[in-house]
Chain A
Amino acid sequence: MVSMYLEMIRIRFLMMLAYRTNYYSGILIYSINIGAYYFLWTAIYSGQESLGGLTVTQMTTYVAVAWMARAFYFNNIDREIAQEIREGKVAVEMVRPYHYLTMKTMQGLGEGLFRLFFFSAPGLLIVWLVFPLDFSASGWTWFMFALSLVFSFIINTQLNLMTGLLTFFFFNNDGLIRAKRIAIDLFSGLILPISFYPGWAQTVMGYLPFQAISYIPSMIFTEAFTGQEVWSAILFQALWAALLVVPLQVLWLLAKKQLVVQGG
């Protein structure tokens, strides 16, 4: 059973490897994005020591790491699920001897691992050579960052699975999928660290799972979180990862019923 899922990761990884132009342009996309934000943020700081609890070097490092981490947790399984549902392929997938959602998660993981090794690592190297970023030397920081990145992937994937499954209930789900992506970009801390938002907005976001996706790993990596803060941040992620299982399972059970009605 486990080896079957491992095989799914491997196959998806190899599939990604097949598109070589995609790979080069992928590195370029991330480098360009980070470059743009680098200039924007240095202009925003323009001489000020620190904003929102981050120095300018921490900020540019934050942006670089946030985009590189995105390469790992980001995947297209919401769109894939939507397509498989529309084309009716999902019915065939369901009778196969594996759990559909786990299979999708594994494919997402294969995609994420590919991007991590082939986009993030070389991209980060390029960016690090071009822009003055501050990468921590502490092994502990890297370890905690890796741990929180795993939770980023889990939470983002859970949200992706849920949005994908909603296609069972709506004919066309493209708008919702897009809205979810925008919400994640905005509330996860990808384009703006949560500490930059006004107090009331920070409070609201504290009750949402989104900051577990991007803000927490990036803050851990830039060492803007220290000591106890790191642990409570990871705990926050773990809590959401566990909590989101409930709506996901409910949605899955309802979806299976829905399929029977449609296919009748």
Chain B
Amino acid sequence: MYDLSIFWHYTLQYLKTRMAYRVDLFVELMSDLLFQAVNLVFILVVFSHTPLLNGWSREEILFIYGFFLVPYAIFSAFFNIWDFNERYIVQGEMDRILTRPIHSLFQVILERMELESLFGAVTGLVIMLYAGAQLGLSVAWYDPFIFLFMVLGGACIYGGVFVCLASISFWSDSRTDIMPMMYNIANYGRYPVDIYHRVIRFVLTWILPFAFVGVYPSAYFLGREEWYGYAFLTPLVGLLFLSLSIWVWNQGVKRYRGAGN
């Protein structure tokens, strides 16, 4: 309950600061939209040259992309920690965080929130609904609930991987570009993983399970029964990776000694 009220206060504060620079907010939303459009354009242009991608139609690929945008939006809104090393370790902000009686990861997440990213979920839903309608997908009464679980699972997977990466800073404070690299790898999960080499598919399923953020859960809604097993693993994998990352984070905090200036 206490955490919730903290979250609420941070949100109010956040909205206040965002509303102070409305033009800025607008430009940011536009550039988010543009970013989503790039991938959309890629899919559309590619499919103007070929009817099928390894047996997947344009609408199916669009559906997967639309789905992917929803957990991705939640992830970007709450796990905006790609500059954690720079901000909190190098500049010593972590010391301030650790003097407060709330869990350190929760504080970092609250401080770095970017709620306007949630708008991406709307784009995702629109793309999904369009593709779904084109494909004539039927929706059962329980599908929205399954969708919710899978989306949360996907966001947790992303969050887990990136929290683990941020935790590296507790052990080594040298600057690395692993984070942007991970953003690139994460994009692999947006395409049917059976187009890749089986080694890559294995990595995307069990080691950096980004396939669970796009293609596997989408397989359930697209009625691709051969992947149902993977699809229903999504929330479990999400829970597992988030718990793992919190454990790694806590170990890191124990080891943290401050920037020492």
B30 touching A179, Cβ below 8 Å: yes
A51 adjacent to chain B (CB < 8 Å):
yes
Chain A, residues 31-47, CB within 8 Å of chain B (1/0): the string is 01101100110111110
Q: Per a CB cutoff under 8 Å, which of A174, A176, A185, A197 touches B45?
A: A197
How far, in whole Å, are A33 and B180 apart by their CA atoms in the complex? 11
B45 touches A182 (CB 8 A): no
Q: Find chain B residues with CB under 8 A from A175 CB.
A: 24, 27-28, 30-31
Of A25, A171, A175, most buried by chain B (CB within 10 Å of CB) is A175
Contact A25/B177 with A51-B50, A176-B27, A182-B34 known, Cβ cut-off 8 Å: yes
Give every chain A residue within 8 A of B35 (Cβ-Cβ): 178, 182
Asked if B99 is at the interface (CB within 8 A of a chain A CB), the reply is no
Question: Given the interface contacts A43-B54, A178-B31, A185-B38, does A198 sit within 8 Å of B184 by beta carbon?
Answer: no
Is A200 located at the chain interface by the 8 A CB criterion? no
A196 on interface, CB distance cutoff 8 Å:
yes
B255: Cβ under 8 A from any A Cβ: no
* B50:A28 contact, CB within 8 angstroms: no
Q: Tell me whether B175 and A19 are in contact (CB under 8 A).
A: yes
Q: How distant is A67 from chain B, measured CB to nearest CB, in Å?
A: 11
Interface check A170, CB cutoff 8 A? yes
Answer yes or no: A259 CB below 8 A from chain B CBs.
no
The interface bits of chain B over 24-54 (1 if a CB of A lies within 8 angstroms of the residue's CB, else 0) are 1001101100110110011001101110111
Judge whether B181 and A28 touch: CB under 8 Å: yes
Task: Answer yes or no: B195 CB below 8 A from chain A CBs.
Answer: yes
Least distance between A198 CB and chain B CB atoms (Å): 7
Interface residues in A181-238 by Cβ distance below 8 A to B read 182-183, 185-186, 191-192, 196-198
Q: How far is the CA of A159 from the CA of B197 in the complex (A)?
A: 38
Contact of A191 among B24, B27, B38, B185 (CB under 8 A): B38
- In the assembled complex, A3 has its CB within 8 A of some CB on chain B: no
Docked CA distance A52–B19 (Å): 46
Interface residues of B in 138-181 (CB under 8 A from A): 174-178, 180-181
Complex contacts, B185 vs chain A, CB 8 Å? 32, 36
Once A39-B200, A51-B49, A197-B45 are accepted as A-B contacts, the answer to whether A179 and B27 lie under 8 Å apart by CB is yes
| Residues in chain B near residue A19, CB distance under 8 A | 174-175
In chain A, positions 3-24 with a C-beta closer than 8 Å to chain B are 19, 21-22
Cα A26 to Cα B21 in complex, Å, equals: 35
Query: Across the interface, which residues of A come within 8 angstroms of B202, CB to CB?
Result: none
Say whether B50 contacts A46, CB under 8 Å. yes
Question: A197 contacts which chain B residues (CB < 8 A)?
Answer: 45
CA distance A28 to B181 in the complex (A): 8
A172 in the interface (beta carbon within 8 A): yes
| Given A39-B197, A44-B53, residue A29 in contact with residue B38 (CB < 8 A) | no
Least Cβ distance of A258 to chain B in Å?
Answer: 17
A170 to B38 Cα, complex, angstroms: 25
Q: Which residues of B contact A40 (CB under 8 A)?
A: 191, 195
Query: How many Å lie between the Cα of A185 and that of B37 in the bound state?
Result: 12
- Chain B residues, Cβ within 8 Å of A262: none
- The residue that A21 contacts in the complex, of B30, B48, B174, with Cβ under 8 A, is B174
Q: When the two chains form the complex, which single residue of A25, A52, A178 contacts B181, counting CB atoms closer than 8 Å?
A: A25
Assess whether B181 is in contact with A186, with CB atoms less than 8 Å apart.
Answer: no
**A138 at the B interface (CB under 8 A):** no
Check A170 against B196 for contact (C-beta < 8 Å): no
| Distance in Å: Cβ of B227 to nearest Cβ of chain A | 17
Indicate if the CB atoms of B180 and A29 lie closer than 8 Å.
yes
Nearest chain-A residue to B26 (Cβ)? A175
What's the least CB distance linking B109 to chain A, in Å? 20
> Which of B31, B188, B200 neighbours the largest number of chain A CB atoms within 10 Å of its CB?
B31
Chain B residue at minimum C-beta to C-beta distance from A52:
B49
Given A40-B191, A196-B45, 8 more contacts at CB 8 Å?
A22-B176, A25-B176, A25-B177, A25-B181, A35-B200, A39-B196, A43-B54, A182-B31
Using a CB–CB cutoff of 8 Å, the interface residues on chain B facing chain A are 21, 23-24, 27-28, 30-31, 34-35, 37-38, 41-42, 45-46, 48-50, 52-54, 174-178, 180-181, 184-185, 187-188, 191, 195-197, 200
* A-B pairs with beta carbons under 8 Å apart, 9 shown: A21-B175, A174-B28, A176-B31, A178-B28, A182-B34, A182-B38, A192-B45, A196-B48, A198-B48
Chain A interface residues (CB < 8 Å from chain B): 19, 21-22, 25-26, 28-29, 32-33, 35-36, 39-40, 42-46, 48, 51-52, 170-172, 174-176, 178-179, 182-183, 185-186, 191-192, 196-198
